Copies of this chain bind each other. A is one copy, B any other.
Amino acid sequence: MRFKFPLMAIGLEVVMIVLFALFVQYETSVNTSRNPNETESAAMDVEKTMESYPFFQDVHIMVFAGFGFLMTFLWKYGFSGVGINLLIAALGLQWGTIIQGIFRSHGQKFLIEMKNMIHADFSTVTVLISFGAVLGKTSPVQMLIMTILEITVYAANEYLVFKILWASDTGESMTIHAFGAYFGLAVAGILYRSGLKEKHPNEESVYHSDLFAMIGSLFLWIFWPSFNSATADEAKKQYRAIVNTYFSLAASVVTAACSSLLERGKLNMVHIQNATLAGGVAVGTCADMEIPPYCAMIIGSIAGAVSVFGFKFLTPLFTTKLRIHDTCGVHNLHGLPGVIGGLAGIITVALEESDSTKTVSQAAALGSSIATALVGGLITGS
């Protein structure tokens, strides 16, 4: 048993290296010399792809420092939280690069661009979200397996949403956030043990574990505009995604203050840390669309308030009635705001576009993201 985890990790790494040798290449003088006419255009691509590098770095901070430290708020799991987060993300980004590349190239060799690296980081986010629901209930070996399975399902759903339905989801509210949350909840439902009904002492946060978690929250909050705009395909959309996300986040912080209405005048910091991020999740789908900034603020405000009410009323209900124990409350931070984001996207497209098939696509994308997540999660958990 004690050898299982390291041997499995090393085995997976060997598989990744072999897959990279088979499928991944980048533009070198060797392959450009084969097609000499393309040399110049290939050089152009490098300049172009490098423009996304600052966005990649911002997303990279969110994945490794943001999500990592967000997991530290449970004192007992703090350290393993941040360590396992690193391991999952490092494995996941390799597998994400492979599986997304194979889907897009239809099984051919493919080139690595900066956007592939951003998408690979995105694919790990789904697992990190699900990890928040199952934290403390799984072994490292189970996490390795879940990483591989979840990213595979994610890549399939992402291909369906973006390349078959041609739906719009720039900040991936549906395909990452709602998907990751419902996948994790399905797994948590399978792993439910009756002992989880009572609040476990390990689930307590202590004063400075909260401060470490705040590092995670703040870095996520700060870089969310980059997350929602990183894959936008023209400058105008990117700019719009940044502005909308910035104001949506600011609005959700202020409405998160309604936490103190429910907590006898005190600010519950777990509410604040999560509700402040809900605005970024909820505005994701329509961030690059032509919604005026005040609409982004309304979306953010609703998401912040819904998230707080979810923590107070829904999470306990899930544990007692549905027998789903959601360790970090990912349903309130990612699940509900992801669904709000999906709905906001449907409404915006319905109002903006005369072509109603686009609206249907958006709705299908939301449905597909939740359905594949639940089915995938149930299978993975079993």
Interface residues of chain A, those whose CB is within 8 Å of chain B, are 1-3, 5-7, 9-10, 12-13, 16-18, 20-21, 24-30, 43, 46-47, 49-50, 53-54, 57-58, 60-61, 64-65, 68-69, 72, 78-80, 82-83, 86-87, 90-91, 93-94, 97, 112, 114, 117, 140, 207-208, 210-212, 214-215, 218-219, 221-223, 225-226, 235-236, 238-240, 242-243, 246-247, 249-251, 253-255, 257-261, 264-265, 267, 269, 272, 276, 290, 292-294, 297-298, 301
A57-B214 contact given A16-B297, A257-B10, A297-B20, CB 8 Å threshold = no
Residue A94 contacts which of B208, B226, B250 (CB distance < 8 angstroms)?
Answer: B250
A318 to chain B: closest CB distance in Å? 25
Q: How far is the CA of A235 from the CA of B251 in the complex (A)?
A: 34
B254/A10 in contact, CB under 8 A:
yes
Residue A5 contacts which of B29, B253, B260 (CB distance < 8 angstroms)?
Answer: B260
CB contacts (< 8 Å) of A87 on chain B: these are 253-254, 257
B257/A5 in contact, CB under 8 A:
yes
CB contacts (< 8 Å) of A255 on chain B: these are 9-10, 13
A43/B265 in contact, CB under 8 A:
no
CB contacts (< 8 Å) of A243 on chain B: these are 26, 112, 117
Q: How far is the CA of A82 from the CA of B211 in the complex (A)?
A: 9
A211-B72 contact given A6-B258, A43-B236, A239-B46, CB 8 Å threshold = yes
Residue A2 contacts which of B79, B93, B222, B265 (CB distance < 8 angstroms)?
Answer: B265
CB contacts (< 8 Å) of A57 on chain B: these are 54, 58, 222-223, 225-226
Q: How far is the CA of A264 from the CA of B3 in the complex (A)?
A: 8
A299 to chain B: closest CB distance in Å? 11
A2/B264 in contact, CB under 8 A:
yes
Q: How far is the CA of A213 from the CA of B114 in the complex (A)?
A: 29
Residue A251 contacts which of B17, B58, B214, B221 (CB distance < 8 angstroms)?
Answer: B17
CB contacts (< 8 Å) of A28 on chain B: these are 240, 290
Q: How far is the CA of A7 from the CA of B243 in the complex (A)?
A: 26
A31 to chain B: closest CB distance in Å? 10
CB<8 Å pairs between A and B, sample of 22: A6-B258, A6-B259, A10-B254, A13-B301, A16-B297, A18-B294, A24-B293, A26-B293, A46-B236, A46-B239, A57-B223, A64-B222, A65-B215, A65-B222, A79-B210, A90-B251, A90-B276, A94-B247, A94-B250, A94-B254, A208-B208, A208-B212
A11 to chain B: closest CB distance in Å? 10
A29 to chain B: closest CB distance in Å? 6
- Nearest B-chain residue to A258, judged by Cβ: B6
CB contacts (< 8 Å) of A93 on chain B: these are 246, 250
A290-B29 contact given A20-B247, A57-B222, A64-B218, CB 8 Å threshold = yes
A355 to chain B: closest CB distance in Å? 16
Q: How far is the CA of A61 from the CA of B215 in the complex (A)?
A: 11
Residue A261 contacts which of B6, B94, B264 (CB distance < 8 angstroms)?
Answer: B6
Q: How far is the CA of A292 from the CA of B27 in the complex (A)?
A: 10
Q: How far is the CA of A48 from the CA of B67 in the complex (A)?
A: 32
A120 to chain B: closest CB distance in Å? 9
- Most B-side CB within 10 Å, residue of A87, A93, A236: A236
A50 to chain B: closest CB distance in Å? 6
CB contacts (< 8 Å) of A221 on chain B: these are 64, 86
Q: How far is the CA of A173 from the CA of B223 in the complex (A)?
A: 26
